[in-house]
Amino acid sequence: MLRLAEHEVVPTYHTKPVPDGVRMDVLRRDEVEDVLRKVRPDGIIHTAYRQSDWETTADGAANLAFAARGARLVFVSSDVVFGGRAQAYDENDAPCPVTPYGAAKAAAETAIRAIDPSAVIARTSLIVGYDGRSSHEQFVHGLANGEPGALFTGNIRCPVHVTDLASALLELLTSDFNGIAHVAGPQAVNRLELGRLIAIRDGLDPDALPFEPGQPSDLRLNCERTQKFLTTRLRPVREFLAN
């Protein structure tokens, strides 16, 4: 999408090379600084993380923000910085994570805001729509094929289509927005509802998907304020998974 918008794009990778990509380990400050010195980006969208590794998610983000000074920075954060409650979270709510991954993303947010107050912290939710390739779609396909697991009815999120997210991130990158943005879909569903929508779209039996209550966690993001700023329309999940 960045390329379609005629930006010169330099993707980075760590272990899985990508076309025209530059290898960079965010844990290595010297390496991050070296890459940024060579590439001299006007803007950076930082997505690198490992869900089970604090250092990559938190320290890595701080290393990147420190080295990026002077470049416009958009950090992709997550709804898991919140712990769950009946009311949707808006951009002014303080993080209250309950998982190590959520805590690492919250720590990354704090570090980035301290290093670069003009950076954008873009919190999103379940990312789907990679033509079946996202982890969420793969999980549903696996369950439909009899693999072990279950969809948790207690886990409520606001899924976003990957192209809507990419378009919104590009808008934020090229805008004068700073601070926290909520960039997720406007419709909340639980994991079973999401799984059934994916199954129907992909010609699988929605009623065959196993489910359990799971731990209750309602992580709805209220995106109204950010949506007003964007021209990208963040589509509801029932719309973008309808066909």
**Minimal distance in Å, beta carbon 144 to ligand NAP?**
19
Of 6 and 230, which has the nearer Cβ to ligand NAP?
230
Q: 116, 73 in Cβ contact below 8 A? A: yes
Among 56, 155, 222, 232, binds ligand NAP (CB under 6 A): 56
Give the whole-angstrom CA distance, residue 75 versus residue 119.
7
User: What are the strands, taking DSSP E only, across the chain?
Assistant: 12-13, 22-23, 43-46, 72-78, 120-124, 127-128, 151-152, 155-157, 160-161, 179-182, 189-190, 211-212, 217-218
The correct pick among 7, 10, 14, 238 for binding ligand NAP (CB under 6 A) is 14
**Contact positions with ligand NAP (CB under 6 A) in 59-78:** 60, 76, 78
Nearest C-alpha neighbor of 7 from the set 233, 235, 167, 178: 167
Q: How far is the CB of 122 from ligand NAP (least distance, A)?
A: 9
Q: Does residue 139 interact with ligand NAP by CB under 6 A?
A: no
**Residues 36, 44, 49, 197: which binds ligand NAP (CB under 6 A)?**
49
| Number of residues in the chain | 243
Does residue 188 interact with ligand NAP by CB under 6 A?
A: no
**Shortest approach of ligand NAP to residue 186 CB, angstroms?**
16
Size of the site for ligand NAP (CB under 6 A): 20
Note whether 175 binds ligand NAP by CB under 6 A: no
DSSP per position, 8-39: ----EESSS--TT-EE--TT-HHHHHHHHHHH
Taking CB under 6 A as the rule, which mask of x and - marks residues 18-37 in contact with ligand NAP?
------xxxx----------
**Binding of residue 50 to ligand NAP (CB under 6 A):** yes
Residue 139 C-beta: closest distance to ligand NAP, Å: 11
Burial 2-13 (b: 16+ CB within 10 A, else e): beeeeeeebebe
Find the binding residues for ligand NAP in span 91-110 (CB under 6 A): none
Number of other CB atoms surrounding residue 58 within 10 Å: 21
Interface positions with ligand NAP (CB under 6 A): 13-16, 24-27, 47-50, 56, 60, 76, 78, 124-127
